[in-house]
Amino acid sequence: MRISPKVLLGSAVCLLVTACTGQSASDDGGGGGENTLVYLIEQLEDAESLSRLEDHLADFTESSGIEVEVQQLDVDTMRTVLQTRLRSEEGPDVISFGSGPAFAGALAEAGLLYDLTDAYEENGWEVYDFAKERVTYGGRVYGIPGEMETVGLFYNADVFADLGIDPPRTLDDLRAVCRTLTEAGVVPMAFGDQDAWPGSHLLSMALSSAVGADGMEALFAGERSWDSPEVVDALTFWQEANANGWLGESPVSVDYDTMTAQYLSGEAAMIPTGSWFINDLAVGADFESGYVPFPAPGGEGVFAAGLGSGPMIAANTDDPEGAVALLDFFASEEHGQWSVENLQTIPPRPIDTEGLDVDPLLAQVLEDVSALSEGGGQLGYNIDVLMPEAFNEAMFDGVQAVLTGQSTPAEVAAAMQAASQQ
C-alpha cells in the first residue's frame, strides 16, 4: 500500500466523513461524547491539509448538527495500536483504514467494525462493484471504499515527441523505447526502491498486464501458484531493466522523493508509479505527461488498481446513526466532486466532472477508470493491499533482492509462494 501524502489526505477526508456508531463488540461505546464523533485518521502531511478537511467537515456539521473531532496517528502506530483503540471505551467512533483482507478484513474478523450491509441498501450508496468487494468480508460490507488508485507508466510526452517515440504497448515496444532513450542520454525510467513498497508496484503492474484480472484473482485465491512461470517472467523483466541501466543507478538506494524528482526534473523520461502522482505533476512538471497501462508481453496491458484507506465505523460506537450519516456524506456525489477538485483523487464511484476544475490528465484517468469499472474492460490488482503481511514482506524483500542480484526471480517467486501458504 502506498503511503503518499495524497493518500493520507484522501484517507483523512474519508475518515472525517465517517463518524462512529456501534454495533457492538461490547457495550462500551467509543467516542467523543454526546453529539460528537471521534474520527481517527492517519497523520496528515501538514496543518493546511487538516484545515481543508475541517472546512469540508464543517459542511457535514452544519447539515447534521454533529461535531467531528479529528484525531491523527502516524501510519506505523496506527497499524500497531488500532485494534487496542477499537476495544477501548475511549476509542474512535470512525476510523480511516486500508481496504483488503490484511487491513480492514482483519478488523472485521475480530468483530471490531460495524456492519454496513443494511446501511448500503437504506442509503443507496453507489460504488463500483469491484471496490465494494474489497470492503466485503464474509458476505457483509464493512466500509466505504477509499479513493481508487491505478498503477501504470507515466511518460514525458515532450521527450517522446522530440525523439519520435510512441507510448509502448508491448514489452518489446518498451525495450525499444528504453534503448532509444538510453542512446539519447536520457534515463529511461525513474525508479527508487529504498522504501521497499515501490517494488511491489513493479510486480503488480507487470503481472496484472501479463495474466489479466482473472489470472490475478486465481493467484489470490490460491488456484495459481506464486512461483508460476508468469510470476517469474514478470520479475525477470525488472531484473533485465535494472541490468541494462533502464532504472537509473542503484535504484534500491533511491527513495521515493528522489525517484519522483528524477522524472519531474526531466532527468528520466518515464516513471512506473500510481495515479496519485498526477497531483505532483500538476505542481512540479513544466512538460506534458501521458499515462498508459504497463505493457503486456503480447499486447496492450491493463492498469493495476487498488484502493486507499476508507471510512469504517467502530463496532462499539455510541452513535451508529450519526456515524452512518457521516458515511452518507462521504458517499455522496458532492463529496466525490469535492475530492476530485481539492484532492485530485479518483472516487470509487462514477463522478460527473462537467464544470469542475480538473487537471486534463486526471480527467482522462477518471474517464478511463469509470469505463473500465463499469464493464468496458479490465483492471488488474495492486498486490500489497490484498495480501497478508508475511507475503508482502517476502515480496518487498524479494524485489529488492532481484534488483541487487542477491536472489534470482525464481528464488523470489518460490519465497512468495511459501509465504502465501502461511
Q: pLDDT, tens digit, for every residue of 103-162? A: 888 899 999 999 999 999 999 999 888 888 889 999 999 999 888 889 999 999 999 999
Q: For 227, phi and psi rounded to 5 degrees?
A: -105, 25
Q: Is 305 helix (H, G, I), strand (E, B) or coil?
A: strand
Residue entry with cell 517515440? 165
pLDDT of 29-64, one tens digit each? Answer: 455 567 999 999 988 877 888 888 899 999 999 999
- Nearest by Cα to 40 from 79, 83, 69: 69
* Whole-number Cα distances in Å, 280 to 257, 290, 335: 11, 14, 22
Residue 312, beta-bridge partner list:
95
Query: How large is the average pLDDT for residues 299-312?
Result: 88
- Nearest by Cα to 113 from 83, 68, 134, 69: 83
The CATH T-level fold of domain 151-303+381-420 is: D-Maltodextrin-Binding Protein; domain 2 (3.40.190)
Instruction: Judge whether residue 168 has pLDDT over 60.
Output: yes
Instruction: Judge whether residue 377 has pLDDT over 80.
Output: no
In this prediction, residue 149 carries a pLDDT of 85
DSSP-H helix ranges across 254-316: 256-264, 277-284
Question: Does residue 308 contact residue 147 with C-beta atoms inside 8 Å?
Answer: yes
* Whole-number Cα distances in Å, 198 to 124, 153, 173, 201, 306: 36, 13, 23, 5, 14
Query: How large is the average pLDDT for residues 160-173?
Result: 97
Question: Does residue 22 contact residue 114 with C-beta atoms inside 8 Å?
Answer: yes
In this prediction, residue 4 carries a pLDDT of 38
CATH 3.40.190.10 fits 36-143+307-374, yes or no: yes
Question: What angle is formed at CA 72 by the lines to CA 66 and CA 76, rounded to 5 degrees?
Answer: 145
Residue 296, beta-bridge partner list:
170
In this prediction, residue 36 carries a pLDDT of 95
Instruction: Report the chain's terminal Cα–Cα distance, integer Å.
Output: 20
Domains 36-143+307-374 and 151-303+381-420 share a fold: yes
Q: How confident is the model at residue 375 (pLDDT cuts 50, 70, 90)?
A: low
Task: Give the CA count within 13 Å in the CB-facing half-sphere of 229.
Answer: 1
Each domain of the chain, given as residue ranges in start order, spans 36-143+307-374, 151-303+381-420
Run of H or E including 38: strand 36-42
Q: What is the DSSP letter of 286?
A: S
